[in-house]
Amino acid sequence: MLPKKTTTIIKRTLARTAQRITPIDRKDPDEKLGQLFHEVQSHRVFADGKTFVDLVPRKRATRILQEYRLARRDPNFRLDEFVKLHFYEFESPIKKVSFVQADSARQHVTNLWPLLIRRAHKSKGSLIALPHDYVVPGGRFAEQFYWDTYFIMLGLAVDGKWKLIDGMMKNYVYMIQRFDFIPTANRTYFLSRSQPPFFAAMVKLLASKPGRRAPSLTYLEYFPSLLAEYKFWMKGQRKLSSIDFMATNRVVAMPDGQVLNRYYDDKATPRPESRREDIETARNSRSANKAKVYLDLRAGAESGWDFSSRWFNDPHDIETIMTTDLVPVDLNCLLYELEMTIAHCYGVLRQAPLKKRFIRLAERRAESIRQHCWNETDGFFYDYNFRTGHQTSHATLAGVFPLYSGIATKKQAKHVAEKLEREFLRDGGLRMTLVDNGQQWDAPNGWAPLQWVAVCGLKRYGLNELAEEIRKRWLASTERVFADQGKMIEKYDVDSESRIGGGGEYPLQDGFGWTNGVYAALYDRFDERCPR
């Protein structure tokens, strides 16, 4: 039980929050717009499928559909004109700022923050209102994305923008209270899936604010939300006691009796924002179970690695995707951290039995990760296929998460470092995988969040020389692109001279939230405050 005073404060905060938020229709755009939605996406009215699902209807969906059925009878009917007439692009209000082009990438990041701040106190179309201002990644991503936010917060912390961090945290408390979990982002079409669970890391970051007198109060404030987050990821655990269930929802029964987790989605249909691509993938797949293909695509999106050879049976073919068959090493390391954070909260509350219980849960998870994901021959951590009972054969940068979370032994950490230096490290930083197949989360691309995870993980085990080399090379890549193009981008090609990343379902985006955050944090040596 929380102290009465703390409970009262939380309830009052949520009550004030609720008063500022308008009701939303939780239906996805494809559910509301039916045939019209199918026609718009399949006929490529917009090059990027996310564009249409983000538009705001000028009338009720039922009225638009009625007018559509009548209008399409006209031989001169033009679908693009109809869409332009009945929908509009909503641009969330931003604060008026005068932007001055900076001479350095570091100053550029500081100048960018005001341009990436959004506020949405009213729901519009698929956009879900939030009570506080938030920072968006940029480009096509105009929402508060879950795991992006943690890496954005690193940069905000370096620049002293703690009030903004606090508001974004309260947005997540609001979403947990409203939806029982943190969705991918504040869009209705994301309400069936989450993203890598970095909420516990966000709480730790906020508690580390310089000058904060009582960090324990921060943990208590967010304790109910941490428990709700854990409940979401462990939903269905009781079903695993039946021999009929090897896995359900996001939980998996391992051979040793331990319960680990997987990425999942509550729907098995094409993603509204990528409907055309998903239908094509399922159509070309040899799998007779198209719903399973859609589920695996959605689960791959929940992982944040959308898409990567990591999730494919054939590393060069997305049509062999099998995300929900895998126990991802990174996800389970993050849930280990969540369990340890909950244990810490129970310790603050002086509830020793519950503290011990969650420490045991975390320790058992760590042992199971080492048992099933560690490959002694390769000296690296892999994802585990619970259907086949074997590890996957694809080495990915997710293998550094056991170092980041402190799960690896010292010997394992040393072997991981050797493989990173030998096979993953390039002139521009660490590549995501060893496979070059055109997917954006594969070679030769490097992404900011995994550079941070690697640097912090290596430092945790005293492997400082390699950590520093990765740090320097990544900063140099970011600065090279800034010098050439005057911008920060979503992903970088760590092999090419230009360093411009590519691949994936959409054009390269700039902005860019987590690139900015990680760059600022590494530049200002914030990595000295990596988790220990």
What is the share, in percent, of the chain residues with pLDDT greater than 70? 93
Question: Mean per-residue pLDDT for 353-374?
Answer: 98
Least reliable range by pLDDT among 51-55, 232-236, 239-243: 239-243
3-state secondary structure of 453: helix
Minimum mean pLDDT among 270-279, 284-293, 519-528: which range?
519-528
Identify the pLDDT of residue 528. 73
363 CB-contact burial (10 Å; exposed 0-12 / middle 13-18 / buried 19+): middle
Task: Report the distance separating Cα 182 and Cα 194, nearest Å.
Answer: 6
CA distance 468 to 459: 9
Task: Give the residue extent of every domain in the chain.
Answer: 4-233, 374-382+395-532
Closest by CA to 513, choosing from 304, 271, 236, is: 304
- 361 burial via Cβ count (<10 Å: 0-12, 13-18, 19+): buried
Which pLDDT band holds residue 100 (cuts at 50, 70, 90)?
low
Tell me whether domains 4-233 and 374-382+395-532 share a fold. yes
Nearest partner of 381 among 349, 419, 351, judged by Cα: 419
Query: Span 374-382+395-532: which CATH code?
Result: 1.50.10.10
Helix 29-42 with 79-86: angle, nearest 10 deg: 150
- Model pLDDT for residues 292-337, shown as the tens digit of each residue: 999 999 999 999 999 999 999 999 999 999 999 999 999 999 999 9
Question: Of 184, 106, 182, 143, which Cα lies nearest the Cα of 520?
Answer: 106
Rounded to whole angstroms, how far apart are CA atoms 62 and 72?
A: 16
pLDDT higher at 457 or 257:
457
Which residues in 359-463 belong to E strands, given as ranges? 374-375, 380-381, 384-385, 390-391, 425-426, 429-430, 445-446
Task: Give the least confident one: 261-275, 461-475, 501-515.
Answer: 501-515
Within 10 angstroms of residue 73's Cβ, the number of other Cβ atoms is 7
Residues 405 and 217: their CA atoms lie apart, in Å, by: 23
Q: Find out whether 131 and 17 touch, Cβ atoms under 8 Å.
A: yes
Q: How far apart are the two ends of the chain, measured CA to CA in Å? A: 28
Indicate if the pLDDT at residue 75 is higher than 50. yes
Query: Once rounded to an integer, what is the mean pLDDT over residues 59-65?
Result: 96
- Omega prior to 307 cis, within 30 of 0: yes
Catalytic residues, which ones? 306, 490
* Percentage of residues of the chain with pLDDT beyond 90: 83
Give the model's pLDDT for residue 96: 47
- Supply the DSSP symbol for 509: P
pTM higher than 0.85 for the full model?
yes
Q: What confidence score (pLDDT) does residue 154 get?
A: 97
What residues have CB less than 8 Å from 7, skipping those under 6 apart? none
- 375 with 391: CB under 8 angstroms? yes
CATH class, domain 4-233, is mainly alpha
pLDDT (average), residues 387-404: 98
- Model pLDDT for residues 105-158, shown as the tens digit of each residue: 999 999 999 999 998 888 999 999 999 999 999 989 999 999 999 999 999 999
14 pLDDT above the threshold of 80: no
What is the per-residue DSSP string for 306-347?
-S-GGGBSSTT-GGGB-GGGEE-HHHHHHHHHHHHHHHHHHH
Q: What is the pLDDT of residue 243?
A: 61
pLDDT for 338 equals 99
Alpha-carbon span 50 to 142, nearest angstrom? 11
Nearest residue to 332 via CA among 281, 395, 253, 260: 260
